[in-house]
Structure 1
Amino acid sequence: MKKWGFLLLCFCLTILFIEPIFESKEERQNEEHYEKDKVENRSISENVNKIEITEEQTYQGNLLLVNSEYLVRPKSIKSDVINLSTHHEWTKGYGLLDNNIYLSEELARRFSEMITAAKKDGVHNFSITSGFRDFGEQSALYQEMGSAYALPAGYSEHNLGLSLDVGSTQMKMADAPEGKWIEENAWKYGFVLRYPKDKTAITGIQYEPWHIRYVGLPHSAIMEEKNFTLEEYLDFLKEQKSISQTIQGEEYKISYYPVTKDTTIHVASTLRWEISGNNIDGVIVTVYPNSTHTSLTGRRMSQ
């Protein structure tokens, strides 16, 4: 019995001696994992921008839907609207109906690039017949033309500063080479034909071969590929939540986020990105494949 008692005592002492060693080893492993996680999390945090999204941003940007249900809010109107007749640098290669054509300066620059490309294709009889209209001008037009030819103030894309009516100096756009060129090529420059012939049931507007809307790339390319109107495209993004699109070998990522009271979006700080509201209930984040990014208003900023 004494022998068994001695062995039991030795076993207990051994357990008491070894257990702290095991605990110490486990604690060291936990500490190592903890330190590793801290380093990894710090690295991730340093490469990600945390963006606080407010409800106001739902109503700002190039992808705002304006139709009979969703009207233009004062905060939605482009802040860089200019009189084209006083900015000759943006009006080369096309005419103006009169001296009171207004447009977003960014849009004027994009349109000028498109007209330059059309001229290289031998198509050059373009003119702008209407651009940005304020609510007062839209109201007067509505009263003059009636609901068959105009929309009430606040329900026209022209009130945004992102749309324009393009004509041909030779003939009606429906028959003109300019109209055909716009329909086939405008998407390459960020524009879309807003009211196509086969989509009147969706847009609620009759076919208008002269009315183009700027949404920007890659959105115009996706809309062209899928034959989407803006209504269909925004519904598609909301359903998919996030999509990737490769254009000319470069990958773009586009994500929809519903906007609640407190919405935070994480975007890689090494990439260029742009945020636009949809004028309904959320924002669309577009991440571009290069090393710069844009602010919430879409202005490009270097790092």
Structure 2
Amino acid sequence: MKKSIKLLFVIAIAIILAILWFNRNDDPVIYKSPVNEEKQVENVKSLKIDVADVHKGELLLVNKEHGIKESIKTDIKNLFDNQDLMGDYGLLSTDIELSKEITNYFNEMIAGAKKDGVDDFLISSGFRSFEEQTKLYKEKGEDYALPGGFSEHQLGLALDVGSAEGSMAESEEGKWIAENAWRYGFVLRYPQDKTDITGIQYEPWHIRYVGKPHSVIMQDKNFVLEEYLDYLRKKEQIIGVVDGKEYDIRYYKVDKTRTVKIPKDYNYTISGDNIGGVIITLYK
């Protein structure tokens, strides 16, 4: 009798685990319907948005049509001279510079890759000043470089990643980046199947930090930045749960200073799109 009860108990546990397994949610984003806050006046506060906000933040679109005047990152460091900031990877040259904050995010990603047995990364290019980008454009031409002011490398958010094992298109490092960068807030900016949208040839080495939840939503919907910003402009508001945290993402057109209402008990970040709008990302 005791054996039968024990067997039934084991079977019951197995059934419960099987149900949990088959009903688990593997989606990186769980989307929710926006809540109408017009009647919840006591739960909102005013937030002022300025036209200058359109050209600041981690979601700025920088390409052949939309340029910038200066980097949005002020914590640029020479990595060779500050190797205590680096993770387990190499540098192609001694003059590579990168934002200290973005270096920390990159280090987390490389540590994640190492856990998967992929660990022969190096950085081949990081931040570039206007002068450096202009010089590169003159040397390489428009087929291989963008003019000064129109390269993501000037944002301080982008870097080129290489592999000690060969080309990024064929190496394990390149494959891992393509499959996993979004988990750490980065995106592969110029994928092979989106060249008609980005206007840039396939670059398996070029990654750009946009942060979560944006990188996760872009991965979920197979968007490049151009598509994602267009999606936000059309939707105006999306709510999604990423890694157990709920995010409320709102898009506002800004052609003059304006005030918007947001929930009182939420934190937020602001980023412009560099076109004419501002994205506010709310979270608790």
TM-score w.r.t. structure 2 length?
0.83
The Cα offsets for residues 138-196 of structure 1, whole Å up to 9 and x where unpaired, read as 11111111111111111110011110000001100000000000000000000000000
What residue in structure 2 maps to residue 183 of structure 1?
Answer: 178
Q: Which has the higher helix share?
A: 1
Residue 103 (1) aligns with residue 98 (2) = yes
Q: Which amino acid aligns with 1:88?
A: Q
For the residues of structure 2 that align with 1:95 and 1:103, how far apart are their CA atoms?
14
- Contact persistence 1:129–1:167 (CA under 8 A): yes
The Cα offsets for residues 220-263 of structure 1, whole Å up to 9 and x where unpaired, read as 00000111010000000000000111223332111100113231
3-state DSSP of counterpart to 2:204: coil
**266-275 vs 154-163, which moves further:** 266-275
What residue in structure 1 maps to residue 53 of structure 2?
Answer: 57
What residue in structure 2 maps to residue 242 of structure 1?
Answer: 237
For the residues of structure 2 that align with 1:130 and 1:114, how far apart are their CA atoms?
17
Q: Which amino acid aligns with 1:251?
A: E
Structure (1 or 2) with the larger CA radius of gyration = 1
State percent identity of aligned pairs: 55
For the residues of structure 2 that align with 1:167 and 1:156, how far apart are their CA atoms?
19
Instruction: List alignment gaps of at least 5 residues for structure 2.
Output: 1-39
3-state DSSP of counterpart to 2:232: helix
What residue in structure 1 maps to residue 281 of structure 2?
Answer: 286
What residue in structure 2 maps to residue 91 of structure 1?
Answer: 86
Residue 69 (1) aligns with residue 68 (2) = no
The Cα offsets for residues 73-100 of structure 1, whole Å up to 9 and x where unpaired, read as 22x5312211112322331200111121
Residue 154 (1) aligns with residue 149 (2) = yes
Q: Which amino acid aligns with 2:130?
A: F
Q: Relative contact order: is structure 1 or structure 2 higher (C-alpha 8 Å, sep ≥ 6)?
A: 2
Q: How does 1:205-216 map to 2 (within 5 A)?
A: 205-216=200-211
Q: Which amino acid aligns with 2:69?
A: R
3-state DSSP of counterpart to 2:190: coil
What residue in structure 1 maps to residue 138 of structure 2?
Answer: 143
- Contact persistence 1:95–1:126 (CA under 8 A): yes
3-state DSSP of counterpart to 1:286: strand
Instruction: List alignment gaps of at least 5 residues for structure 1.
Output: 1-39, 291-303
RMSD: 1.3
- Contact persistence 1:193–1:209 (CA under 8 A): yes
What residue in structure 1 maps to residue 23 of structure 2?
Answer: none
- Contact persistence 1:90–1:108 (CA under 8 A): yes
1:200 to 195, 211, 223: 195
3-state DSSP of counterpart to 1:85: coil
Q: Which consecutive aligned stretches of 4+ in structure 1 deviate over 6 angstroms post-superposition? A: none
3-state DSSP of counterpart to 2:112: helix
Q: Which amino acid aligns with 1:277?
A: G
For the residues of structure 1 that align with 2:99 and 2:197, how far apart are their CA atoms?
27
For the residues of structure 2 that align with 1:249 and 1:109, how far apart are their CA atoms?
22
Task: Give the superposition deviation at 1:50.
Answer: 1.8
3-state DSSP of counterpart to 2:93: coil
Q: Which amino acid aligns with 2:96?
A: I
For the residues of structure 2 that align with 1:142 and 1:105, how far apart are their CA atoms?
26
- Contact persistence 1:65–1:280 (CA under 8 A): yes
Q: Which amino acid aligns with 1:162?
A: L
The Cα offsets for residues 263-288 of structure 1, whole Å up to 9 and x where unpaired, read as 11222232221110000101001112
For the residues of structure 2 that align with 1:134 and 1:49, how far apart are their CA atoms?
39
Number of residue-to-residue matches in the alignment: 245
